[in-house]
Each structure stands twice: as C-alpha cells, then as structure tokens.
Chains A and B, each alone.
Chain A
Amino acid sequence: MADADNLRPEKAPKIWRKLGLKDFEYEMIVEQLGREPNPVELNMYSVMWSEHCSYKHSRSSLKLFPTGGPRVVQGPGENAGVVDIGDGYGAVFKIESHNHPSAIEPYQGAATGVGGILRDIYTMGAQPIAFLNSLRFGPPNNARSRYLIEGVVAGIGGYGNCVGIPTVGGEVYFEPCYRGNPLVNAMCVGVMPLKRLVLGQACGEGNLVVLAGARTGRDGIHGVTFASEELSDQSEEDRPAVQVGDPFLGKILIDATLEAVEKQLVVGVQDLGGAGLTCALTETASRAGTGLEIDLKMVPLREEGLEPFEILTSESQERMLFIVEPEKLEDLEKIFQHWQLPLSVLGQVSAGKMVTVRHHGEVVAEVPAESVAGGAPAYEPESREPEYIGKLSAFDLSALKPAGDPGQYLLSLLSSPDIASKEWAWQQYDYMVRTSTLEGPGGDAAVLRLRETGKALAVTVDGNSRYTYLDPYLGGMLAVAEATRNLSCCGAEPVGITDCLNFGNPEKPEMFWQFRQAVEGMAEACRVLEAPVVGGNVSFYNEVEDEAIYPTPVVGAVGLLENAKNYCKTGFVRNGDLIYLLGPCEVSFGGSQFLKELYGKVAGRPAGIDLEMEKAVQALLRRLIADGLIVSAHDLAEGGLAVALAESCLAGGRGAAVTLASGLDSVLELFGEGPTRVLISLPPEASDRVLDLARKKRVRMSELGRVDGGDSLTVKCGNALAFKLGLDELKKAYEEVFSWIRT
C-alpha cells in the first residue's frame, strides 16, 4: 500500500480506490473541485479524506460531547484544547493514538506517537510539562507480546526522556484481543500564559509560509491511509509507512518554536503530523479562510528526486509550519540558525481560498483549502447491537459461589499483569525532569506543581475496556467517572478531558454500535460531571483478521489544585488512622478482574453508576482534602476493595486491620467492582466532622478499620478471619510478575 511506485497515480485506472477513497467520495471530489483532480491533487484529497484526518465515521457522534464551559478557552478543532486555570494561565492537553505504527514497529511507533502529541502542545505556544500514556497488549506470556511491550515502553522513554518532559503516569492492561493490535495512546499536557496562545491559522494576505525543522524524506508516506484500514498479515510490508523519530531534533525544535512564540515572531503555527504538508497547508488556510501559494522546490529534502506528491504527503517527523509577517522573518531565521535547524520560506498567504502548489514554478496542484481539509463526507453508519452483548450479560453471576481462600484470591489478583505494579515500565521513564513532579507514577493521578502560580495540576488516563465491551454505554460513563474520580482523589477539580476512542471497523454495524453507545455514555457523564471534552482522537480499524479489539475509550483528564501543598496520596501513612469506605456498596463480578483471573471469563453486567452520586462523592472528597480532614484517598478499581486495601498498605508501607460486616457475601464484598467508591484514611479526631459532611452530601460512609502500623493486612468478616497476609507477601505478589522484563 505504501510502496511509492504503486501510489503513482498514472499507473492504474480508478487509482482513488488504491488510495483508500470510495467511488462515491471520488465523485464528491470532482464535484467540489469542479473538475477531475490531477494525480497530485488526488493524493492530497486521499490523505485528508482518510478516516484518520477527516473523522468521517465519527464526526456526527463527536458532536454529542459537551465542549464548552466557563474554563474552556479552546475546544476541539485546533491542535489541542486549552482550559483556563487562573492567574492568566492555561492548561493545554491532548491524547492521540499511535496504534497501527506500534503494531508494526513498536519502538518507533511509540516514539513518534510521543513526538506527535508533543508537537500538538507546543504548537499552541505552551510549554509541555508532562506525558502520560495508555497501553494495551496481548497477555505477556509469549515472545511476540513481550517484544511489543518492551519496544513500546522503550520507545516512549526514548523520546520522552530525550526531550526532557517527564512521563508521569499511565496505565497498561492485557487482553487477548490486543494481541495483534496493541494500543498506544499518548497524552501530553502543557501550560502557557493565555496571552501567548497561537492558533494554526494562516492569517494575513502577504504573510510568509515558513517550513522549519527536519528535512523531508520518504518516510511515513500515506501513513494516515495505512492507519485507516485493518491490519493484516501483510501489514509488515507497510513498515515504510511508519515514521522514524529524532527526539534530539524534536527537543531543539521545541526550544526554537517557543522562543519564536514568546518573541511574537509568528502569527500562526501548525505542526506537521498525519498527512504532512498537505494537512498543515490546507488546515491553516481553511481555518483562516485564506489561500496559500507555495513552491515545493523550497522544501528542504533529505534526498534528491522526491516527487511532488511524496513531498506533500510525507510524514517525516519534527517539522513545523509557521505563518510569519515578512518583517519578522530575519529574527525568526536568527533563532533557527542558532539551533542549527533548517528553515525555508515556501511561499505566502494569498487572497481567495485556494491552495496553489508549484514545483519549480509549474503549478502541480490547485485545490480549495476548505474542500480538502473539511469537505469529506460525514457518514451515518449503520448500527446494530452485536449478538454477544445479550449472551454475555445473561451470564449468571450468582451461580459462581467462590468458596476458596480469600487471601489466595487477593494474591492472585495482585500478581495479575493488569493489577501488578507497573514499576517495570515507569522506571524506564524520567518522571522527575523539570523538578515539578510532586506525585509521580503509581498513584491514582500524578501531581505537577506550577512554579508560576503556586497551584498544581493533577493528570490521569483511564479506561476499562472489559466494562465497555460488556456494556459500551455504561463503559463510556464509567471511564469518564473513573478518570475524574482519580483527580478528585488527589483533591483536584476536573477542568477538562481529552479522549482517545479506540474501536474496530466502523463500517461494520456492530462495531459502529459499540462506538456510538460508548460516545453517548461518555457524553452523558461529561455533562453531569461538568467535564468538557476539549480535544481528542478517534482510532478506528483496530482489527486483525476480523478480530476486533474490545471497544476501548481512554479518557485523559486534567484537574486543578488551588494549593500545590494540599493534595492527597493513596497510601496509609499514619498509625491509628481510621479507614472508611466512601460511596455506595453495590458491586458486581460482571467484567471484574476476579472473574477474569479466577474463572477466565469476561462476562456479566458491571455494576451501574449513579452519576449524581458520583458528582457528590467527588465534591465531598475535594472538600475533605481541601480542609485537611483526610490523610489518604484511593479509588477502588480492578480487584475491588481488597486490592485497594493492599495497595494503600503497600504505598504507605503500613499494615491495617479491617472488619467487614458479617452476613454479606464476603468474597463479593472484597473483590466485586463498582464505581464511585473510594478508600480513605483519617485521624480519629476528624471522624465526626467527616461523617457530618458526608451525611450532608448524602454520601454513604462505612467504617472498615484502622491503620495499625503492623506488617500485615488483616481482614475479618464479622468474627471470622478472612485472611491475614504479610506486607512482604503482598509486595512479592504485586511486584514479581514482571521480573522477566528487568533481566
């Protein structure tokens, strides 16, 4: 597919099909253009009308997301979303997938995923301050999975460490459905004075169009086309569609770009990512309602003899497009000369709305910017509930009757790859550089101080695809609820989210149904929890040989802490503190880690969510933390109460003694999963006040026990001992499973 020769448009009739366009789409192009496109123009259309760039199957659904709010400065549609965090500053953030490239070439696929999302952030004029990532692989019990895991983690570190932006958090899960199609979602967060915000717009007739950064080569040609179809056993041959990253160039390009923005030398900035120069030219012109005239002979090339269509669609990394007033060019050149970075004037902004591309003076393409960048059709795909949904939700959970030793259950859950410590991954990431990481990887959310304002940001990524697989609508709600809850567990107020929607082939009605349901669920949760979606990314066609991944919406969330000194951690840290469970008691084994580990099943109905209660619990948590009433808070997620207890013990290095009310099904109570539940610890003298505040918010609080400072976790059900496990046993189970990766 990506073989340059095959893309030569004169080689085959109905070449648009080879370029991934449908006959009907080709007719639309002819209509919008008023004539047949020439081969170069057809290439431009084909990359921009790919699913990856045009969102043609998702656009109408994405409109469901609430995207506004008092803090929103820039919603979806630009390179990244911007949210007002007070004191004249904005938080800029976005998440994006790099799944297909990582399946073929894990190191470079992941590295360029990081590099790409990084450019989206500083393109807005923001200083990047943190990376996060969300990863999904097949079970780590075979060589192929291990190769992908090691390559992806090394690639994320390789790029992020080199550019000097800390990788502060993330999540990793393993399911057979990701074996051939791993997910690599990278998120970047930046901060900027709002007055410095620059947009990707080609404003001002006569302004110069300047290309800076790396030279253009043949790598990544038609990468977006490759990303917009299913993977197959021939996909290895698409390796040329995977770009190669140069993090050093990326690092100095950040420094140079931010210096140019700070000195107000540019009126528009756009990075070159998917669809390369074609995307940057047509999107900047289309957003500004202007035209552009450029000559490709001015593009610095890595090798001789690139054809115009190759220059226009190359996805060579580490390149930026600037719109510059002519009198400021000299100052801009000085900056780039100092960093020894190529910079070249391609042409200028023109009147009208056409992008005119010349090659050594000869016009090779003349297209309306709006048509190429925004003229793709928006489909309303057919939607049908898959048969498996009914079958799996009818699974009789009450027939399970687990009667084993709860202590052994806990150890096997702690040592499952999904729950076990992810230190093997994050010790390969520099999570401290820039010395602002107050809370690094391993907690519910990472916390970064803002030197400029004395405030802090909490950041997290979350998604549970088993829930979404079993019930996409509920799963969508749960993903948003968990991400925002993790922020609230630190004491931070959620200010906005970005989402990465990883799904199968939307042209299949069952796949589209999953997508639509999940989006509707997420949108509903965002509305109730007042968390606007300010940007994101859709990744379809995550299928190999007809096996689709679980529907996997991943939510990146950013929260604001008014006082950087006042945030909460997950560990038990003070002997004698009381332990409470905050939130409802409804739990289920549906889609739970317990069911997966002990019964090898993904089935049943996950516990439902009351979004109003979720909102109340989160507000209460933030209040308790702001008032300094609680010492720790930890979200209950996979593995339920027992795993959360073990994690809080291990995080604080302190044992605890807990008693559950007798009469309940203790295994369900210990390992069942349900949303809106948080484990907190607090000093005894604060308990009256805390109980009182909870009562006022109508939030249920159950006393569980005490941090006893011993070296074990003891859990009783009524008078009967459920288990007593040493912290060393818990730690061993929690840390041992990935020992293969350390050697």
Chain B
Amino acid sequence: MNCGVIVFPGSNCDLDAYHLVRDVLKEEVTYIDYEERSLQGFDVIILPGGFTYGDYLRSGAIAARTPVMEAVNRFACSGGLVLGICNGFQVLTEAGLLPGALCRNDSLQFRCRQVYVRIENNSLPFTNKASTDQVLMMPVAHGDGSYYAPPEVLQDLEANGQVIFRYVDQRGEAVKAANPNGSCENIAGVSNRAGNVVGLMPHPERAGEAVLGSTDGLVIFESLRGYCKGREVLKSG
C-alpha cells in the first residue's frame, strides 16, 4: 500500500498519519505538498487533521481551494481511495467531494476525548475487515465536528449506506450522550456515493498503538491495506 499524506499550511496531524503508516503498518508513505499537482502512483491519499489556514474562513474552506485538491479530485474521480480525518473531513466537504458540512460543536467548545463509534457499513475498502456493528474506541479533538446535511440528503445517505461511522456508547447504542458535538443522527463519518472517499471526525491514526490507549483505529488501515493488496493481485493476475 502506497500512501500519500497531504500537508496543507496548518495541517498538524500529518506526522501522526505518516508515523502510523510507516512505523506501525510498515507501509510506504510520502508527504505531499499542497502545491503538488499529480498524485500518480498512490493507492491511498490521506487528508490529515489540523487547522489548515487557521480554519479562519470556515474549517477547511481555504485548503479545499489549493492546487493539490484539483489532483485529489481527479484521483477520486478515477476511483482512488481518499481518507479525510478531522480537518481532512472538513476539507473534503468544502471541496464537494463529500456531502454535508461540519458545524461548530453544540458545546461551542473544542472537545478532546475518547469516543466510541459503530461501523455502519463494512462493505467499503475502508471498513471491510471490520465486523458488522463493530464498535471502535478512538479520540476526537475538534471544535467544528457537528455533521449537518439537509433532511433529504440525510435520507439519501442512510438509504445508500453512506453513513459509515456513528457515535455510540460503549455498548453500541447511538444515544445522545455519546455524541460529542451534536452532529445529525450521531453521524461521525460518511462516504461519497461511490464509496472510495471517506471522511470522519474521530482520529483512527491516534488509535493505532496500545501505549496510546487504543488500537481500534487500525482496522480502517488494515482494511485499506487488504483492499490494495487484493487489487494488486487482480492487476498482476
């Protein structure tokens, strides 16, 4: 699996994603500059967390208009796998690659804590190593994580299996108390219609080593790795 981690001005979880892929998964990984115009040769593109351009206009809004995003768009349109984490999720919604928007947390405060999410669709390249309804413990760390989409869009997302992660309690129930930011329907992460672009607010890259408190995030990267390997086999076969 050959991963690219995009570095926008103000990205700050680029190191964490890079470290996880290189040192924990032992896979290929490269930083990609925000001015880069080609993403040839990559299997997976990660848009990491952070505060791109300070999130000064709206979270992710300015980063969505950098040169590299044109390349990400082309990459996604040709079926490439794109994972947006936290601010990366915000960038993907601002770029129109994912539906909906991330609004201010209902607490009006930044929140950093462990949450539980349930995998709602385990048929994607991002989730296919997880079991149905598997519950993962991962941290969130954001101020603008409240997912919003108009009711008709939410209906479509549910109907098409595009809601991928939902905030739940430890037992897997999608209760209000488990929702750290007031997002619609406890949504923590969604995909595009084709299922090759996924964004989520929690940080799977921070849940990849036991010393950090959880290894639950690994299943996402293991799924991607498995999928990419399968594709290699298909190609060579």
A422-447 interface (Cβ within 8 A of B): 426-435, 437-438
Knowing A435-B205, A438-B211 are in contact, say whether A430-B110 is a contact too (CB < 8 A). Answer: yes
* Complex alpha-carbon distance, A249 and B53, angstroms: 8
CB contacts (< 8 Å) of A57 on chain B: these are none
User: In the complex, how many angstroms separate the beta carbon of B47 from the nearest chain A beta carbon?
Assistant: 15
* Complex alpha-carbon distance, A248 and B212, angstroms: 27
Residue contact A248 to B10, C-beta cutoff 8 Å: yes
CB contacts (< 8 Å) of B153 on chain A: these are none
CB contacts (< 8 Å) of B143 on chain A: these are 161
A311-354 interface (Cβ within 8 A of B): 338-340
Knowing A246-B54, A427-B113 are in contact, say whether A432-B141 is a contact too (CB < 8 A). Answer: yes
CB contacts (< 8 Å) of B69 on chain A: these are none
Stretch at the interface among B11-19, B89-97, B161-169, B182-190: B11-19
Residue contact A161 to B19, C-beta cutoff 8 Å: no
CB contacts (< 8 Å) of B211 on chain A: these are 438, 449, 564-565
B199-226 interface (Cβ within 8 A of A): 203, 205-206, 208-209, 211-212
CB contacts (< 8 Å) of A430 on chain B: these are 110, 112, 141
Residue A742 interfacial (CB < 8 Å): yes
Whose C-beta in chain B lies nearest to the C-beta of A449? B211
Residue contact B206 to A432, C-beta cutoff 8 Å: yes
Whose C-beta in chain A lies nearest to the C-beta of B211? A438
**Chain A 244-268 against B: per-residue CB contact (8 Å), 1 yes, 0 no?**
0011110110000000000000000
CB contacts (< 8 Å) of B110 on chain A: these are 154, 157-158, 161, 428-430
Residue B99 interfacial (CB < 8 Å): no
**Chain A 229-252 against B: per-residue CB contact (8 Å), 1 yes, 0 no?**
000000000000000001111011
> Which one of B12, B109, B209 lies within 8 Å of A164 (CB-CB)?
B12
* Complex alpha-carbon distance, A163 and B212, angstroms: 21
Residue contact B141 to A433, C-beta cutoff 8 Å: yes
* Complex alpha-carbon distance, A52 and B27, angstroms: 51
CB contacts (< 8 Å) of A435 on chain B: these are 15-16, 19-20, 205-206, 208-209, 212
Residue contact B212 to A252, C-beta cutoff 8 Å: no
Residue A661 interfacial (CB < 8 Å): no
Residue contact A742 to B107, C-beta cutoff 8 Å: yes
Residue B227 interfacial (CB < 8 Å): no
User: In the complex, how many angstroms separate the beta carbon of B26 from the nearest chain A beta carbon?
Assistant: 15
* Complex alpha-carbon distance, A364 and B3, angstroms: 56
Residue B111 interfacial (CB < 8 Å): yes
Residue contact B212 to A161, C-beta cutoff 8 Å: no
Residue B60 interfacial (CB < 8 Å): no
CB contacts (< 8 Å) of A449 on chain B: these are 211
Residue contact B10 to A252, C-beta cutoff 8 Å: yes
CB contacts (< 8 Å) of A154 on chain B: these are 109-110
CB contacts (< 8 Å) of A162 on chain B: these are 10, 12, 51, 54-55
> Which one of B9, B15, B111, B141 lies within 8 Å of A252 (CB-CB)?
B9
User: In the complex, how many angstroms separate the beta carbon of A348 from the nearest chain B beta carbon?
Assistant: 30
User: In the complex, how many angstroms separate the beta carbon of A425 from the nearest chain B beta carbon?
Assistant: 10
Knowing A434-B16, A438-B211, A438-B212 are in contact, say whether A429-B112 is a contact too (CB < 8 A). Answer: yes
Residue B50 interfacial (CB < 8 Å): yes
Residue A63 interfacial (CB < 8 Å): no
* Complex alpha-carbon distance, A433 and B15, angstroms: 9
A160-213 interface (Cβ within 8 A of B): 161-164
Residue A35 interfacial (CB < 8 Å): no
* Complex alpha-carbon distance, A252 and B141, angstroms: 20
User: In the complex, how many angstroms separate the beta carbon of A335 from the nearest chain B beta carbon?
Assistant: 12
Whose C-beta in chain A lies nearest to the C-beta of B15? A434
Residue B139 interfacial (CB < 8 Å): yes
Residue contact A431 to B112, C-beta cutoff 8 Å: yes
Residue A11 interfacial (CB < 8 Å): no
CB contacts (< 8 Å) of A339 on chain B: these are 9
Whose C-beta in chain A lies nearest to the C-beta of B56? A248
**Chain A 486-501 against B: per-residue CB contact (8 Å), 1 yes, 0 no?**
0000000000000000
**Chain B 1-38 against A: per-residue CB contact (8 Å), 1 yes, 0 no?**
00000000110110110011001000000000001000
Q: How many residues of A contact B (CB 8 A)?
A: 33
User: In the complex, how many angstroms separate the beta carbon of B125 from the nearest chain A beta carbon?
Assistant: 24
Knowing A162-B54, A247-B51, A247-B54 are in contact, say whether A432-B10 is a contact too (CB < 8 A). Answer: no
User: In the complex, how many angstroms separate the beta carbon of A207 from the nearest chain B beta carbon?
Assistant: 29
> Which one of A161, A338, A565 lies within 8 Å of B51 (CB-CB)?
A161
Query: How many residue pairs, one in A and one in B, have C-beta atoms under 8 Å apart?
Result: 85
User: In the complex, how many angstroms separate the beta carbon of A115 from the nearest chain B beta carbon?
Assistant: 13
CB contacts (< 8 Å) of B206 on chain A: these are 432, 435
* B: contact size bracket: 20 to 34
CB contacts (< 8 Å) of A696 on chain B: these are none
CB contacts (< 8 Å) of A429 on chain B: these are 110, 112
Residue contact B12 to A163, C-beta cutoff 8 Å: yes
Residue contact B109 to A428, C-beta cutoff 8 Å: yes
Whose C-beta in chain A lies nearest to the C-beta of B12? A164
> Which one of A249, A426, A433 lies within 8 Å of B13 (CB-CB)?
A433
Residue A401 interfacial (CB < 8 Å): no
Knowing A163-B12, A248-B56, A449-B211 are in contact, say whether A427-B19 is a contact too (CB < 8 A). Answer: no
CB contacts (< 8 Å) of B49 on chain A: these are 433
CB contacts (< 8 Å) of B56 on chain A: these are 248
CB contacts (< 8 Å) of B209 on chain A: these are 435
Whose C-beta in chain A lies nearest to the C-beta of B209? A435
Residue contact B54 to A432, C-beta cutoff 8 Å: no
Residue contact A451 to B19, C-beta cutoff 8 Å: yes
A407-429 interface (Cβ within 8 A of B): 426-429
Whose C-beta in chain B lies nearest to the C-beta of A256? B9
User: In the complex, how many angstroms separate the beta carbon of B135 from the nearest chain A beta carbon?
Assistant: 19
Whose C-beta in chain B lies nearest to the C-beta of A428? B110
**Chain B 127-142 against A: per-residue CB contact (8 Å), 1 yes, 0 no?**
0000000000001010
* Complex alpha-carbon distance, A164 and B7, angstroms: 13
* Complex alpha-carbon distance, A451 and B16, angstroms: 12
CB contacts (< 8 Å) of B111 on chain A: these are 427-428
CB contacts (< 8 Å) of B141 on chain A: these are 161, 430, 432-433
User: In the complex, how many angstroms separate the beta carbon of A18 from the nearest chain B beta carbon?
Assistant: 37
* Complex alpha-carbon distance, A381 and B46, angstroms: 60
Knowing A154-B109, A161-B110, A430-B141 are in contact, say whether A437-B15 is a contact too (CB < 8 A). Answer: no
CB contacts (< 8 Å) of B205 on chain A: these are 435
CB contacts (< 8 Å) of A247 on chain B: these are 51, 54
* Complex alpha-carbon distance, A339 and B33, angstroms: 11
Knowing A248-B51, A432-B139 are in contact, say whether A164-B19 is a contact too (CB < 8 A). Answer: no
* Complex alpha-carbon distance, A437 and B114, angstroms: 14
Residue contact B112 to A164, C-beta cutoff 8 Å: no
Residue contact A164 to B139, C-beta cutoff 8 Å: no
CB contacts (< 8 Å) of A248 on chain B: these are 9-10, 51, 53-56
Whose C-beta in chain B lies nearest to the C-beta of A164? B12
Whose C-beta in chain A lies nearest to the C-beta of B51? A162
CB contacts (< 8 Å) of B54 on chain A: these are 162, 246-249, 251
Residue contact B112 to A428, C-beta cutoff 8 Å: yes
Whose C-beta in chain A lies nearest to the C-beta of B11? A164
Residue contact B112 to A251, C-beta cutoff 8 Å: no
CB contacts (< 8 Å) of A246 on chain B: these are 54
User: In the complex, how many angstroms separate the beta carbon of A531 from the nearest chain B beta carbon?
Assistant: 27
* Complex alpha-carbon distance, A154 and B110, angstroms: 8
* Complex alpha-carbon distance, A431 and B213, angstroms: 13
Residue contact B9 to A433, C-beta cutoff 8 Å: no
* Complex alpha-carbon distance, A246 and B13, angstroms: 19
User: In the complex, how many angstroms separate the beta carbon of A297 from the nearest chain B beta carbon?
Assistant: 29
Residue contact A251 to B15, C-beta cutoff 8 Å: no
What are some 5 contacts across the A-B interface (CB < 8 A)? A163-B12, A164-B12, A164-B51, A247-B51, A427-B111
Q: Give 5 nearest A-B pairs by CB, closest first.
A: A164-B12, A248-B54, A162-B51, A430-B141, A435-B16
Contacts A163-B12, A430-B112 aside, 19 further interface pairs with beta carbons under 8 A come to A157-B110, A162-B10, A164-B13, A164-B51, A248-B51, A248-B53, A251-B10, A251-B54, A252-B10, A340-B9, A426-B112, A427-B109, A427-B111, A428-B112, A429-B112, A430-B110, A434-B16, A435-B206, A564-B211
